[in-house]
Amino acid sequence: MAGAQAGQAAALRRGPFTFGPLEEGEALVEPILGSWEANIDHALARSPIDVCSSRGEDAVVLGNLGVVRVLQVNTAGRDAAVREGDLCLLLPFGLLDRYGYAELAYAYDAPHTIGLLAKRSKMDVRLLLPIPADTSYTLPQWATYGRYFTAWDNWHKALGCWRTQVGDDDPAEHLVFGWGGGVAFAELLLAKRAGFRVAMTAGSDERLAFLRENGIEPVDRRLFPDLSLSPRQAGADRERLARHRGSLADFLKLTDELSDGRGVAIFVDNIGEPLYEATVKSLAREGVITTCGWKAGMRLSHLRGAECISRHIHVNTHVWRLPDSAEIRDFQEASGWMAPNGSTTLYDFDQVPQLAEDYAQGRIGSYFPLYSVNPL
Ligand SMILES: NC(=O)c1ccc[n+]([C@@H]2O[C@H](COP(=O)([O-])OP(=O)(O)OC[C@H]3O[C@@H](n4cnc5c(N)ncnc54)[C@H](OP(=O)(O)O)[C@@H]3O)[C@@H](O)[C@H]2O)c1
């Protein structure tokens, strides 16, 4: 992706990209599969930040989640955690804070980092996590790990917060609800394993069927056509506001039914602003709104008094903790908490501009769009 005038969306351009020799602690890699994520979409839209200008670079190679093959490692004679030939997951960490959480993301806003949308790349070996050699899962299944690792971290923080107020109540009495997306899907499967009732919205028959097959109560968001409304639009159009109130009442009736009148215990909301009123209003007392995303808007406002009196807890997370990566991988391998086989959609390297367009237009049925860079 190249730099451009401020405010203009960026275009993906294919071209030569050079990098220097392998430094000590770096590996030369061949990207195999990349996962298309909202952060690539944000970078192309130059919103909420322009990564070229924030990095001070003319061109940036995007793609920070995917599977690579290690071609060469410069260990300077020391043992390294990865070896030539290993297939590894790229951990998208640029700058870490003192606890191991990401402040800047690799191949996004962290300067001088090279992503997976290149035939060859080089990266710090500490960011490479080998896939188990005897894994039971396919490479496309592993290539979805970014949404799963993010969900793992967000879910554990949300559950921990909910438990501080609800003690040892049986989760089977409580509803965890999610707005659409692959992170929410993965998170609801953890909630289900923890014994909660789980439900999630989707906008197509294909996705509704997929949710049902995976044990999540599907909620067709087309039944609430005017639910999504940004507060900035709300005042201007009375008819629209009236329709919105109708969709909101229908949605609250549904969450009431699914929760036996208690409301949503934990709401996984990665959509944000236009659905925030519905999110807050459907929440139970002592409920948790948990998020790592703001797909449709990140400026939110609420009545602090109402939130305090309802004892709502708001959880905000980003990526996961680098030192937790091996544990999450091992949990995936051992437990089968993994994107179902065949649930990914794969684009060739030459089709990446089409993938960008299809994703931005919401035309991809799968929650897990992938691109292939080099053959296995
Ligand atoms: N901070 C982090 O570490 C991190 C990591 C991963 C993702 N994220 C963020 O989390 C968000 C979700 O990412 P994702 O990968 O799970 O999903 P995604 O691929 O971005 O898809 C989101 C889905 O939400 C649904 N949706 C979109 N607009 C909606 C609206 N106005 N009302 C209701 N549903 C709507 C659509 O599904 P349906 O049409 O089927 O409903 C859409 O496919 C993104 O903003 C992403 O940047 C953050």
* Tens digits of residue pLDDT in 334-373: 999 999 999 999 999 999 999 999 999 999 999 999 999 9
pLDDT the model gives residue 79:
73
Which pLDDT tens digit goes with each residue over 29-48?
999 999 999 999 999 999 88
Task: State whether the beta carbon of 274 lies less than 6 angstroms from ligand 1.
Answer: yes
Are 121 and 55 found together in one domain? yes
How far apart are the CA of 69 and the centre of ligand 1, in A? 29
Give per-residue pLDDT as tens, 279-308: 999 999 999 999 999 999 999 999 999 999
Position 5 scores a pLDDT of 58
Q: In angstroms, what is the span from residue 214 Cα to ligand 1's centroid?
A: 19
Per-residue confidence (pLDDT) for residue 59, from 0 to 100: 87
Identify residue 154 by its one-letter amino acid code.
N
CA-closest residue to ligand 1 atom 1: 318
Q: What is the mean pLDDT of residues 118-141?
A: 96
Same domain (yes/no): 196, 154: yes
CATH number, position 247: 3.40.50.720
Tell me which residue range forms the domain holding 211. Answer: 147-316
pLDDT digits (tens, 9 = 90+) for 138-154: 999 999 999 999 999 99
Residue 208 lies in a domain: yes
Cβ–ligand 1 distance for 293 under 6 Å, the answer: yes
Indicate if the pLDDT at residue 26 is higher than 70.
yes
* pLDDT for res 6: 53
Say how many Å lie between the CA of residue 95 and the centre of ligand 1: 24
Ligand 1 atom nearest to CA at 42: 47
Residue 214 lies in a domain: yes
pTM: predicted TM-score of the whole model, two decimal places: 0.96
Q: Is 154 in the pocket of ligand 1 (CB under 6 A)?
A: no
- Answer whether residue 315 shows pLDDT above 80: yes
214 and 299 in one domain? Answer: yes
Residue whose CB lies within 8 A of the most ligand 1 atoms, among 47, 177, 183, for a mutation test = 183
Return the bridge partners of 347, or none.
Answer: 371
* Amino acid residing at 106: Y
275 lines ligand 1 (CB under 6 A): yes
140 and 155 together in one domain = no
Mutate to test the pocket of ligand 1, among 295, 355, 364 (most ligand atoms within 8 A of CB): 295
pLDDT of residue 291: 98
Q: Is the CB of 183 under 6 A from ligand 1?
A: yes
Instruction: Identify the CA nearest to 39 among candidates 115, 97, 96, 98.
Output: 115
Domain identity same for 135 and 167 = no
pLDDT band at 172 (very low <50, low <70, confident <90, very high): very high
What is the residue with the minimal CA distance to atom 26 of ligand 1?
Answer: 180
Give the ligand 1 atom nearest the CA of 201: 41
Shared domain for 248 and 268, answered yes or no, is: yes
Top-confidence residue, 295 or 237: 295
Residue 202, ligand 1, Cβ within 6 A:
yes
Residue 218 in contact with ligand 1 by CB distance below 6 A: no
* Average predicted confidence (pLDDT) for the chain: 94
Whether 18 shows a pLDDT value over 60: the answer reads: yes
Same domain? 268 vs 285: yes
